[in-house]
Structure 1
Amino acid sequence: MDETEDELPRVSKLKKIQHFYQAPVVKFVQNFISYVIFLMMFSYALLSRFDRDLTGVEIALFVWVFSLLAEEANQFLSSKGNYFLNKLNVLDMLPIVLFIVGVVCRFVTGGVPLEVGRIFFSFAFIGFFLRLLGLFSVHKDLGPKLVMITKMFVDLISFLAILMVFVVSYSIAAHAILYPVSRFDGDLLFNLLRIPYWNLYGELILDEMEIKEPDCSFDPQLYGNDTLPRCPTQIGGYVVPILMGFYMMIANILLLNLLIAMFSNTFQKVQENSDLYWCFQRFTLIYDYSCRPVLPPPLILVCHIWKLLNWCYWKSRQVCRCARTCCGDCNYKDTTIFGDVCEKEKSLTQWEKIVADEYLYRVSHTTADTASEKAKKETCRRKQLTPRHAYRSQIRRITCKTRGNV
């Protein structure tokens, strides 16, 4: 035991601390805690702040989002054009863009831009909260469920294309029968799809079809200035409910059950390979956090500033070297401002090449050995069979001669 302990390399305490904080699991926990604090701060600011007066919470929130934007820019510049191939990157970038639009509306003078900015802040908050789903991929049970949700959402989009054929046709026909010669404006487009959409969830809204005078009016001046609602036509009160019955039977019974069957098929396919999906998600998450800086947002700005200064230093050194050697090779290998995101990628690629070359070498030698062994066995077999054939031919010759003499 003493000899084996003496052979192990000694690691200093500073190196141990460095390896500890560079571990992907530690970075994951730090980023998770930091992100929860960010969401709590955003929730507080969205509910109680974002007024005319700028507060310290809002400034801290602006700096935090800027650090997230810097990290996404780092990943974009280091991905070599493959950034948007990952759907999670789009989910990460969209709320940041909405937040920036909200900040612009926040500082524009006037009451309306502030309300519009608060709407963009609310949409950005929803997007930031949905980013928590990516952290659930580390769990063995929740990770495959995220794949199911993604694939079911694709099924839902294709299903909506079929559903909209029935919704639009019914909505236009029903509104034309109930309220003919309507004024074409934004309210018409809104009310056109409102009733058919809520019919899918069981809201029949029969009161608007069965309303009669004096609770409504046929006078364009009265229902034009919203004094009284417009009365539906008398024949529309009989035809449209029948048309709604056929619409509800197709949409609620046929199409929704078709959607449930599509979801069940997707669930079964993913459930059969749930372990493979989870292993791939776990590998992607570990690789992603192994390439991230040590500090979580908003302290990650310190790491990016350090990378920027380091890049400027090496760029200036190369410029000076090129100026001295004028004819030398002045190609700089680092093509991004922030440099390589993960230095382990080169060693990993080199290790994969070595393993692949070793595998191909073994396969080629195995096939060569098997071919040589087969050739040797065939040669030995022929050598063993040759004396026997010669002996048999001599016996046949002697037998034929004896028969001829007789």
Structure 2
Amino acid sequence: MTSIDDHYYRRSIARVWEYYIYIWAGGDLIEEIKNGMGIFTTGGKSHRGYWSRGKRYINDFWNAVDLLSYILLILALLTRHLWEPDPFIIARRMFSVSLLIMFLRYLQLFLMNRRLGPTLIMIKEMLKDLSYFLAIAFVAIVGVGIYYHANLYPNHINLVGEGTWDTWHVWKILYYPYWQLYGESFSEFLEVQEQSNCTSDRSVYEVSTDIERCAEKDPTVPIVSAIYMLISNLLLVNLVIAMFSYTFDTVMANSEKLWRFERYTVITDYEGKVPSPFNFIIRPIQLLNFARKKCKKNLYKESKYSVYFDTCTCNTIITFVSEYK
């Protein structure tokens, strides 16, 4: 991940490790799909369908983290091997984020511990509270950011510019009010005290990405900034702290039950898994046995699998499995 474009990678050892990781991740993804869809499982009449089991699987927090890491890994692989302009830089960033999420996923193992388990449950529930807070804060950030930009840069038309996405002027709308949530005042910028490397010539700043437009002083901007920081730092931040406190008390009141439930979930999640890459050998055998059983059932009576297995196909599968079993 850190040496894919230098002399070390040109040697075969780095390439071997890279493709081994691909195989390992692919096998692990197969296990996640198998657990999520409930493949190779049997049940009674009330047994859930594949689609229902898949939705239930995605609704779990840890499974959602898993899927996110695999999606990023697949996108990184596509970028790494198919995208021409600077594939190593973008792919390295995506690989790094995917690896970071995978490490966070391993925190689920701490749910087995009686002391650390309730703590992780609190963190998971607090993240839900934080998402609600961010939804409220985002509305305030966008509104205040637009006010700043409209009055400091009046009649500014081009918010994207001619450069790359990281130089777009639109990011300034979110940058200053976001960091003000953490106490940054940006008084020099909002009061337009000192400016350097900027111009007021429209023909220059609308074309060049090397020089920015100079801000125009507006007396109402510091006033709005003071009100915004008062509300965001005293009201919104204390609101999320109160939400965290309520979540903490709720989890602590039911910590034993919640911990036992999460512990049971972890045990059942790993109970039917086959370690990668050994599942590339075991799972095809299980798939053939699964198809053989469904074929035998299909030969005796009509079933929903008749669409996929006709009589000739069933006889072929049964003969093949019987010879190599």
Which TM-score band applies after superposition, normalised by the shorter structure? 0.7 to 0.9
Match of 1:93 among 67, 75, 78: 67
1:206 aligned onto 2:180: no
Shift of 1:84: 3.1
C-alpha deviation, 1:157, in angstroms = 1.9
Task: Rate the CA distance shift 1:111–1:164 in 2: closer, same or farther, 3 A.
Answer: closer
Which of residues 187, 201, 204 is equivalent to 1:219? 201
How far did 1:249 drift? Answer: 0.6
Query: Greater CA radius of gyration, 1 or 2?
Result: 1
| Alpha carbons 1:143, 1:278 under 8 Å: kept | yes
Q: CA offsets per residue over residues 171-215 of structure 1, 9 Å max, x none?
A: 111211111011233323211111111111222223333245675
- Asked if 1:56 corresponds to 2:16, the answer is yes
Q: Residue in 1 aligned with 2:301?
A: 329
Q: CA deviation at 1:312?
A: 4.7
Partner of 1:233 in structure 2?
216
Partner in structure 1 of residue 54 of structure 2: 83
Give the drift of 1:77: 3.3
Q: Could you tell me which residue of structure 1 aligns to residue 43 of structure 2? A: none
Alignment match of 2:178 (pick from 197, 208, 224): 197
- Aligned position for 2:99: 125
Q: Report the secondary structure of 1:301's partner residue.
A: helix
Report the CA distance between 1:240 and its aligned residue: 1.6
**Cα gap change, 1:229 to 1:285, in 2 (>3 Å):** closer
The one of 257, 261, 270 aligned to 1:276: 257
Instruction: Give the conservation status (yes or no) of the 8 Å contact 2:117–2:259.
Output: yes
1:271 Cα deviation from its structure 2 partner: 0.7
Amino acid in structure 2 at the alignment position of 1:329 = K
Residue pair 2:4, 2:88 contacting (<8 A) in 1 also? no
Q: Is the 8 A contact 1:212 1:231 kept in 2?
A: no
Distance, in Å, in 1 between the alignment partners of 2:276 and 2:245 is 40
Q: Which position in structure 2 is the counterpart of 1:74?
A: 34
CA contact (8 A) 1:98 1:121 kept: yes
1:109 and 1:304 map into 2 onto residues whose CA distance is: 33
Structure 1 stretches of 5 or more lacking a match?
A: 1-45, 323-327, 337-406
**RMSD between superposed Cα atoms in Å:** 3.0
Amino acid at match of 1:220: R
Q: Specify the alignment match of 1:115 in structure 2.
A: 89
Task: Answer yes or no: is the 8 Å Cα contact 1:76–1:83 preserved in 2.
Answer: yes
Question: Residues 122 and 214 (structure 1 numbering): CA distance in 2 closer, same or farther, change over 3 Å?
Answer: closer
TM-score by length of 1: 0.62
- Larger deviation: 114-123 or 155-164? 114-123
- The SS at the match of 2:281 is helix
Structure 1 residue aligned with 2:137: 163
Residues 80 and 87 in structure 2, CA contact (< 8 A), matched pair in contact too: yes
Q: Residue type matched to 1:65 in 2? A: A
Would you say the 8 A contact 2:188–2:194 is kept in 1? no
Q: Distance in 1 between matches of 2:138 and 2:265?
A: 37
Pairwise CA distance, 1:169: 2.0
In structure 1, the residue corresponding to 2:301 is in which secondary structure?
A: coil
1:99/1:303 CA distance change after superposition, 3 Å: same
User: When the two structures are superposed, what TM-score results if normalisation uses the length of structure 2?
Assistant: 0.76
Alignment of 1:3-402 (within 5 A): 46-49=1-4, 55-78=15-38, 80=50, 81-86=52-57, 87=60, 88-108=62-82, 110-186=84-160, 187-209=168-190, 210-212=192-194, 216-224=198-206, 225-226=208-209, 228-234=211-217, 236=218, 238-293=219-274, 296-314=275-293, 318=296, 322=299, 328-329=300-301, 331=303
Whether the 8 Å CA contact 1:50–1:118 is kept in 2: the answer is no
One-letter code of the match for 1:229? E
Distance (Å, rounded) in 2 between the aligned partners of 1:179 and 1:185: 11
Q: 2:2·2:92 contact (CA, 8 Å) conserved in 1?
A: no
Relative to structure 2, which stretch is displaced further, 127-136 or 117-126? Answer: 117-126
State the SS of the aligned residue for 1:120. Answer: helix
**Residues 227 and 110 of structure 1: is their aligned pair in 2 closer, same or farther, counting only changes over 3 Å?**
closer
* Aligned residues between the structures: 281
Distance of aligned partners of 1:161 and 1:73 in 2 relative to their CA distance in 1, 3 Å threshold: closer
Q: In structure 2, what residue type is equivalent to 1:299?
A: F
Q: 1:141 to 1:213 in 2, by over 3 A?
A: closer
Segments of structure 2 that go 5 or more residues without pairing to the other structure are 40-49, 161-167, 309-325
Taking the aligned partners of 1:288 and 1:228, their CA distance within structure 2 comes to 55
The alpha carbon displacement at 1:268 in A equals 0.6
For 2:56, give the aligned amino acid: L
After superposition, give the CA deviation of every residue in 1:143-170 in whole Å (9 maximum; x if it has no partner).
1122212221221222223223322221
Which residue in the other structure is 2:320 paired with?
A: none
Distance 1:55 1:239, change over 3 A: same
Q: Give 1:228 shift.
A: 4.1
Rate the CA distance shift 1:213–1:157 in 2: closer, same or farther, 3 A: closer
For residues 215-241 of structure 1, what are the alpha-carbon distances to aligned partners after superposition, in whole Å with 9 as ceiling and x for unaligned?
54322234332454322223x1x3322
Compute the displacement of 1:100 (Å): 1.4
Amino acid at match of 2:155: V
